[in-house]
């Protein structure tokens, strides 16, 4: 640890009281918020990068790691699962073509169908590496004859996402949780003409209100403008058809 890092930690977690250095509890609000991937071009770049990682793997182990990261990204942006719930998924929780899991934070059971294309990709991944029902879908490594018994950690997933961000050129705070937000952002974009879209997404996230969801997926003024332009274009099209 560098002297600079030590100094920062000392200043952050200790306080001088009457000339004496007193230890404080670690600050509670040290979490750095992450952001969704709004540009679909960036999503395509990430997929391409992960596909190349698979294609140029030099060993079975490297191929597994690359394929695992690819599937982690794919499943992450196609579901509303929290990061910790995504990492805890086991084969038996997806093998029937639906997600069957219990949320770590709320302890609520989650049961929802996977779209056909996504399930086919998951099944191909499971079959390729001969994953067993009790294996973690996103395992850290294979532990002998016991199978894939250890999931990757939040720290490991952070490193994976950090590498992706650097390669693709993402210059904002990006982590595993960004995938959940990306799902929500593009869900709204695809359902701009649906009055119930915000309410439906709020229920998926278990949020108290659509307003909370709006802030969560970082829906800002530019997105509002795009939404207004969408409705104006549709309104013009309707008028032309009536003529």
For the segment 56-80, what is each residue's pLDDT rounded down to a tens digit? 999 998 999 999 999 999 999 999 9
- Please report, for the chain, the start and end positions of each structural domain, with discontinuous segments joined by +: 40-168, 176-236
Per DSSP bridges, beta strands 109-113 and 139-141 are unpaired
Q: Is 20 a catalytic residue?
A: no
Of these residues, 180, 181, 186, 187, which one is catalytic?
180
* Residue 174 burial class via C-beta count within 10 angstroms: exposed 0-12, middle 13-18, buried 19 and up: buried
DSSP string, 16-49: EETTEEEE-PPPS--PPP------HHHHHHHHHH
Catalytic residue among 38, 67, 68, 82: 82
Q: Is the pLDDT of residue 230 over 60?
A: no
31 part of the active site: no
Task: Please state which architecture CATH assigns to domain 40-168.
Answer: Orthogonal Bundle (1.10)
3-class DSSP state of 110: strand
Q: Is 180 assigned a catalytic role?
A: yes
Active site residue 216: yes
Which positions ≥6 away from 15 have C-beta within 8 Å?
21, 22, 24
* Cα–Cα dist 240/112, whole Å: 41
Query: Which tens digits make up the pLDDT trace of 140-171?
Result: 865 555 556 788 999 999 999 999 999 999 99
239 is catalytic: no
111 catalytic per annotation: no
Write down the pTM of the prediction. Answer: 0.78
């Amino acid at each position: 640890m560098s002297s600079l890092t030590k100094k920062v930690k000392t200043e952050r977690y200790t306080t001088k009281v009457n000339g004496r250095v007193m230890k404080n509890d670690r600050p509670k609000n040290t979490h750095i918020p992450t952001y969704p991937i709004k540009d679909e071009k960036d999503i395509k770049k990430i997929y391409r990068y992960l596909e190349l990682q698979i294609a140029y793997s030099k060993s079975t182990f490297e191929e597994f790691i690359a394929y695992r990261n690819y599937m982690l990204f794919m499943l992450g942006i196609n579901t509303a699962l929290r990061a910790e719930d995504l990492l805890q998924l086991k084969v038996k929780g997806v093998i029937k073509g639906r997600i069957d899991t219990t949320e770590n934070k709320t302890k609520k059971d989650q049961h929802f169908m996977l779209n056909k294309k996504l399930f086919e990709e998951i099944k191909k991944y499971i079959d390729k590496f001969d994953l067993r029902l009790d294996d973690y879908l996103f395992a850290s490594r294979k532990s002998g004859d016991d199978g894939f018994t250890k999931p990757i950690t939040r720290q490991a997933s952070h490193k994976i996402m950090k590498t992706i961000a650097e390669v693709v050129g993402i210059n904002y705070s990006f982590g595993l949780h960004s995938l959940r937000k990306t799902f929500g952002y593009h869900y709204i974009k695809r359902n701009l003409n649906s009055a119930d879209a915000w309410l439906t997404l709020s229920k998926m996230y278990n949020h108290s209100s659509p307003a909370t969801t709006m802030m969560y997926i970082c829906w800002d003024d530019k997105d509002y403008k795009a939404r207004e332009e969408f409705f104006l274009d549709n309104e013009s099209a309707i008028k032309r058809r009536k003529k």
